[in-house]
Amino acid sequence: MRVIQIDKAVEMVKNGSIIMIGGFLGVGTPEALIDELIKEGKRELTVIANDTAFPQSGIGKLIAKKLVKKLVVSHIGTNPETQRQMIAKEVDVDLVPQGTLIEQIRAAGVGLGGILTPTGIGTVVEDGKKIIEVNGKNYLLETPLSADFALIKARKADCNGNLVYSLTARNFNPIMAMAAKIVIAEVDEILPVGMIPPDEVHTPGIFIDYVVKGR
């Protein structure tokens, strides 16, 4: 794990990269990393996230700048611009049930070949997917979702990359931290090793490649 400047971190993202971005309607979203993506003009991104927040916040800022080619999300109801771009076919949107999305990301992070969920059985979500019966009950096979980068947000990190999140800003962040080739954590505070007691660590530092200081 290395602590680096935010521009050096975002330089690694390529046009067309697949990126996971933490947060729930902008809470727990790495806003400084998003602003840097916009500043560096990264384009044709595939974004895996819970939602696209609001038109002027969080992932909504990437949508407004038309930097996203494909979205894998559970909800776009709070961002009319995402819905407009979806209907106009300017952005390709995969809508995934929230509990399935988080488990697909977790599956990729923890080395599983997929997960079996009852969610979506009998709905349009099951189209094209394998149905597997276990003990007399039907489940959908949902395959793992991984990414080139995970951009996550935590309240604090130590210099080993151990992370602590804040309240409901935790959400997708710790799971995404396990599921991408390169994981960049934006934090409010960077502490010396030893300042976060072992029992208080939410994400062990081994998952984190780079830590950047947010605002």
Partner 1 sequence: MDPKILIAKRVALELKDGNLVNLGIGIPTLVADYIPKDVKVFFQSENGIIGMGPVPEHGMEHPDLTNAGATYVSALPGSSCFDSAVSFGIIRGGHLDVTVLGGLQVDEKGHLANWMVPGKLIPGMGGAMDLVTGAKRVIVAMIHSAKGESKIVQTCTLPLTSVRRVDLIVTDMAVIEPTEDGLLLKEIAPELSVEDVIKSTQAHLNVSKDLKIMKIE
In angstroms, the CA 135 to CA 102 distance is 24
| Minimum gap (Å) between residue 15 Cβ and partner 1 | 26
Contact letters (x/-) for partner 1, 137-156, by CB under 8 A? ------------------x-
Rule CB under 8 A: say whether 99 interacts with partner 1.
yes
Rule CB under 8 A: say whether 83 interacts with partner 1.
yes
In angstroms, the CA 208 to CA 174 distance is 10
Q: What are phi and psi of 53, to 5 degrees?
A: 50, -135
> Which of 17, 46, 74, 162: binder of partner 1 (CB under 8 A)?
74
Q: For residue 39, give the H/E element and its range.
A: helix 31-39
Number of neighbouring beta carbons within 10 Å of residue 175: 24
Rule CB under 8 A: say whether 122 interacts with partner 1.
yes
Rule CB under 8 A: say whether 27 interacts with partner 1.
yes
Rule CB under 8 A: say whether 15 interacts with partner 1.
no
Beta strand ranges found along the chain (DSSP E): 2-3, 18-21, 45-48, 68-73, 92-95, 115-117, 131-134, 137-142, 147-158, 163-164, 180-191, 210-213
> Which of 17, 46, 50, 162: binder of partner 1 (CB under 8 A)?
50
Rule CB under 8 A: say whether 56 interacts with partner 1.
no
Question: Which residue has tokens 């099951």?
Answer: 126
Q: How far is CA 57 from CA 44, 70, 106, 148, 212, in A?
A: 19, 18, 26, 23, 20
Contact letters (x/-) for partner 1, 153-192, by CB under 8 A? --x----------xxxxxxxxxx-----------------
| Minimum gap (Å) between residue 32 Cβ and partner 1 | 14
Nearer to partner 1, 13 or 173 (CB): 173
In angstroms, the CA 105 to CA 96 distance is 12
Interface ranges with partner 1 (CB under 8 A): 24-28, 50-51, 54, 73-78, 83, 86-87, 93, 95, 97-100, 102-103, 106, 117-125, 155, 166-175, 202
